[in-house]
Amino acid sequence: MYKMNLFVFFLSLSVFPQKYDLKWAEEFDGPEINTEIWNFEKGFAKNNEQQFYTSENKNARIENGMLIIEAHKEQYQKGDYTSARINTLNKKHFKYGRIEVRAKLPEGKGTWPAIWMLGRNHLTKGYPACGEVDIMEHVGKTPGEINISVHYPETDNIGTNGATQSFKLPDPEDRFYNYAIEWDKKQITYFIDDIEFFTFNVDEANKKGRKNIFRKPFYLILNLALGGKWAGEIDDAIFPTRFYVDYVRYYQLKD
């Protein structure tokens, strides 16, 4: 796994390319989460995670123009922790363009915040056939290490292939960063604060007899998971802990 030290990398300057027009934005400036855009997922999740997702205001709300996803240590529906996971399935889909999310991450062992996407056909085709694009993942046991991935199915639609990168980022728990991808039919390129650090060649996901899954629409997911096979042991002293999202913006290429 390749690691990039952005303490040095961020010394370089980058200007956001003026080739895009803003087509849609969620600024989280309303009184509550807009359910015409966002779905609340409820219940337990995969990967042996320990949180129970709810739609309770204490777990997901808008404050001061930001989305706050807040995890708690509490007994709820046979679970020991609560948190939230929201998505745009069947309400807002994306195919190509630039997707940008400004966020500040929680800290503490056991936290697992993510900004990611699944194919719109997730419910009909299942996983991994729908494909996955992870714009940002972070686990609290490795502070400052940001992870990104793309996942796609093997020919049998059971096995999973993909590409993953990780890199060091200064203090993502103490400040906001812009996590973004620029996506077209040829590639998915990853950025932090408009600085490019990784590109995935979409043709790598080609399979005979099947349309490339990265040339189909996807929906967006924002969540804060706890524990599980990657985040590991949870430090109960960290709660409540918060994942802040300032905005989500979607750009398309100018005509």
Q: Is residue 247 part of a domain?
A: yes
Q: Is residue 129 part of a domain?
A: yes
Taking residues 172-181, report their average pLDDT.
Answer: 95
Window from 5-9, 101-105, 214-218 with minimum mean pLDDT: 5-9
Total structural domains within the chain: 1
Would you state the structure tokens that stand for residue 26, as one six-digit string?
């969620």
pTM for the model stands at 0.93
Please, where are the H alpha helices in the chain?
A: 6-9, 122-125, 228-231
CA dihedral 65, 43, 222, 235 (to 10 degrees): 90
How confident is the model over 223-254, as pLDDT tens digits? 999 999 999 999 999 999 999 999 999 999 98
Question: Which residues form the domain of 216?
Answer: 6-12+24-253
Helix (H) or strand (E) holding 156: none
Residue 8 banded pLDDT, cuts 50, 70, 90: very low
Q: Is residue 107 part of a domain?
A: yes
Q: Is residue 19 part of a domain?
A: no
Q: Which residues are catalytic?
A: 132, 137
* Nearest Cα to Cα of residue 149 among 87, 97, 214, 226: 214
Q: Is residue 117 part of a domain?
A: yes
Long-range contacts of 146-149 (CB under 8 A, 24+ apart): 146/172, 146/179, 146/192, 148/190, 148/198
Q: Is residue 1 part of a domain?
A: no
Domain at 229, CATH number: 2.60.120.200
Measured distance CA(173)–CA(150) in Å, rounded? 24
How confident is the model over 96-141, as pLDDT tens digits? 999 999 999 999 999 999 999 999 999 999 999 999 999 999 999 9
Q: Is residue 113 part of a domain?
A: yes
Q: Is residue 152 part of a domain?
A: yes
Measured distance CA(211)–CA(120) in Å, rounded? 14
